[in-house]
Amino acid sequence: MKEELEQKLMDKFKFMEARNVWSGEKLNFPMPCSCGEGWFQLIWNLCEKIETELMKLPKNSDYEFMVLQVKEKYGILCFYTGSIPSLIADAIFNAICEAEGRSTTICESCGAGGITKHRGNWIRTLCNQCGEELGYIDFNDKENCNEEF
């Protein structure tokens, strides 16, 4: 994802600032999102839901929510966090699962509707146009597939 989009996420959602995984120390740059720009709105919407849940914590709570990694793996958004208080854990886990599931229908490259495609062993969720431009084909396209899985 472009750094300016990562910066927008960090500016709005402080928990999207990169941190040292072991110490939790803020690193003063945005959390790198190792995925395409097409999922920006999906990640933004997920962060809004998380922020809403975090506001339900008691005001005197010293808990600080931490995002550990945001990436694409096998054509699916993966959003990893640190520990979550039980008071809001179910809601946050559900929001993350929903976003990860939705990522299988959104082109990672442009944000249009997409399906899972492959190029050799590489798998991504892409629309037909982006898939064609990047050399990816549908899993069900037996005619153009010369590889077996």
Residue 149: per-residue pLDDT = 44
Same domain, 88 and 17: yes
Give this prediction's pTM: 0.89
Say whether both 14 and 79 belong to one domain.
Answer: yes
Q: Which pLDDT band holds residue 129 (cuts at 50, 70, 90)?
A: very high
In terms of domains, do 16 and 29 share one? yes
Please list the residues that pair with 124 across neighbouring strands: 117
Is the same domain home to 137 and 88? no
Whether residue 14 is found in the same domain as residue 63:
yes
Total structural domains in the chain? 2
Mean pLDDT over each residue of the chain, to the nearest integer = 91
Average pLDDT over residues 134-141: 85
What one-character DSSP code corresponds to residue 27? Answer: E
Determine the Cα–Cα distance for residues 26 and 81; give it in Å rounded to an integer: 15
Looking at residue 144, its pLDDT comes to: 57
Lowest mean pLDDT among 21-30, 69-78, 105-114, 132-141: 21-30
pLDDT, residue 44, reads 98
The answer to whether residues 56 and 86 belong to one domain is yes
Q: Per residue in 16-51, pLDDT tens?
A: 988 877 777 888 778 889 999 999 999 999 999 999
| Domain that includes residue 122, residue range | 107-149
**Sign of the dihedral through C-alpha 15, 21, 27, 33:** negative
